[in-house]
Amino acid sequence: MKNYEECMLTPTRKLTDVEKELVWKKPISHKVSEEELRICKEIKRNWNSGELKIANILLEGDAGSGKTQLAKALSANFRLPYTKVTCFADMDKSDIIGAILPVISSERLEKMEPLEQNVLKVLYESDGFQSATEILMNELGDTQEQASLKMKQLLKIVPQNTEDEVIEYRFYPSEIVRAYQKGYLLEIQEPTVIRDAAVLMALNSALELDGSINLPTEIIRRHPDFIAVITTNRSYAGTRPLNEALRDRVQHTEKMDLPTKEIMIERAISKTGYEDEKVLDVLADIIIVLDKTARVNAIKGVAGMRSYFYWADAVAGGASAKESLYHKVIYKITTDSEEIKLLEDALKSRGLLAGLDKVEIELKKKEYLMR
């Protein structure tokens, strides 16, 4: 067992079977990165140092650079259940804390609209282990935002249907509260999009190291194993930066860029199974130049790892490398003719388009020989 691997933060802790299922299992394609090693070391080093404990982490950088996978890797390394919340613009406080719903009689339930009936039934039948939105996401296939919207509609409608016969209320904690109370690893995706300042404040206070959250039903304390990982794409012109107060809550930050070319190739091989390193090398060079050029010229789109994977996969499947460069990479960055010209010029001046032509010829030759 290596130093960073498989260490429980609270050694005496026993996970339930359901919780064990939530611990991420590293696929064989997972490659341990420097960032992963560094964070694990840091968390372990400071785990028992009270106020200096590191339990809120920020991963900021390019889309596809591996932020989510890194958060999941921490779940695997520390044997913590992994869970996430995907933020959206109209999030409100019930998305941060949770919602309280009356349990209404089955006769009244029958009289409600089928959709609302269905949502309520799904909620009532749940074991209270999951958060309300999670239940709706799993049972009804909703996105986080749809589930949250349904909950809010219910909160408006249900009281009118209960009149004076309510006997029991049930509290459905949010995913955040659940992770906080039970000691999970929570990925908070893109909190930059949240519009309401009060919601950001609520999130911020939920990240206090030695904090507690006041629920309508009880006061809960932060579980010592709770780790929050905020992941956000680096802000470019037009997007909001991460709220300063939230930033201030974080005890360790990683700047996540396009990985080195070697790592790009390694990940592409393990992801696509395509092993022609000479071709992958040329494609990686092109992605790197496009990424830089887009940045320097304030072109909004990104050429990142995802484009690289899809492009490599298309080439592996027999597509023309040059043609798919446009469909998998360039048009994803921009469809503006002038910007495309800038990107093409950058590639030409470095001989990369010629390099791509050479790759194309070699691939054709190979294909011919295979026939």
Ligand X SMILES: Nc1ncnc2c1ncn2[C@@H]1O[C@H](COP(=O)(O)OP(=O)(O)O)[C@@H](O)[C@H]1O
- The yes or no reply on residue 64 touching ligand X (CB under 6 A) is yes
* Closest to 31 (Cα-Cα) out of 262, 272, 267: 267
CB of 149 to Mg ion, least distance (A): 22
- The yes or no reply on residue 328 touching ligand X (CB under 6 A) is no
Site string for ligand X, 285-314 (x = CB under 6 A): --------------------x---------
Backbone angles phi, psi at 243, to 5 degrees: -45, 130
- Interacting residue with ligand X among 24, 33, 95, 144 (CB under 6 A): 33
The residue among 98 and 187 lying less far from ligand X, judged by its C-beta, is: 187
- The yes or no reply on residue 77 touching ligand X (CB under 6 A) is no
* 105 binds, options Mg ion, ligand X, none, Cβ within 5 to 8 A by partner type: none
SS3 string, the chain, reads CCCCCCCCCCCCCCCCHHHHHHECCCCCCCCCCHHHHHHHHHHHHCCCCHHHCCCEEEEEECCCCCHHHHHHHHHHHHCCEEEEEECCCCCCHHHHCEEEEEECCHHHHHCCCHHHHHHHHHHHHCCCCCCHHHHHHHHHCCCHHHHHHHHHHHHHHHHHHHCCCCCEEEEEECHHHHHHHHCCEEEEECHHHCCCHHHHHHHHHHCCCCCEEECCCCEEECCCCCEEEEEEECCCCCCCCCCHHHHHHCCEEEEECCCCHHHHHHHHHHHHCCCCHHHHHHHHHHHHHHHHHHHHCCCCCCCCHHHHHHHHHHHHCCCCHHHHHHHHHHHHHCCCHHHHHHHHHHHHHCCHHHHHHHHHHHHHHHHHHHC
- The yes or no reply on residue 271 touching ligand X (CB under 6 A) is yes
Residues 202-241 that bind ligand X (CB under 6 A): 231
**Position closest to ligand X via CB:** 66
* 305 binds, options Mg ion, ligand X, none, Cβ within 5 to 8 A by partner type: ligand X
Angle between helices 277-296 and 337-349 (to 10 degrees): 130
CB of 245 to ligand X, least distance (A): 23
- The yes or no reply on residue 44 touching ligand X (CB under 6 A) is no
The residue among 176 and 305 lying less far from ligand X, judged by its C-beta, is: 305
- Interacting residue with ligand X among 8, 15, 19, 30 (CB under 6 A): 30
Stretch that binds ligand X, among 37-45, 59-67, 213-221, 355-363 (CB under 6 A): 59-67
- Interacting residue with ligand X among 31, 121, 327, 350 (CB under 6 A): 31
- The yes or no reply on residue 66 touching ligand X (CB under 6 A) is yes
The residue among 171 and 310 lying less far from ligand X, judged by its C-beta, is: 310
- The yes or no reply on residue 67 touching ligand X (CB under 6 A) is yes
Residues in contact with Mg ion by the rule CB under 5 A: 67-68
- Interacting residue with ligand X among 16, 29, 153, 297 (CB under 6 A): 29
* 301 binds, options ligand X, Mg ion, none, Cβ within 5 to 8 A by partner type: none
- Interacting residue with ligand X among 63, 100, 288, 363 (CB under 6 A): 63
Q: How far is CA 107 from its chain centroid?
A: 41
**Position closest to Mg ion via CB:** 68
Interface positions with ligand X (CB under 6 A): 29-31, 33, 63-69, 231, 267, 270-271, 305
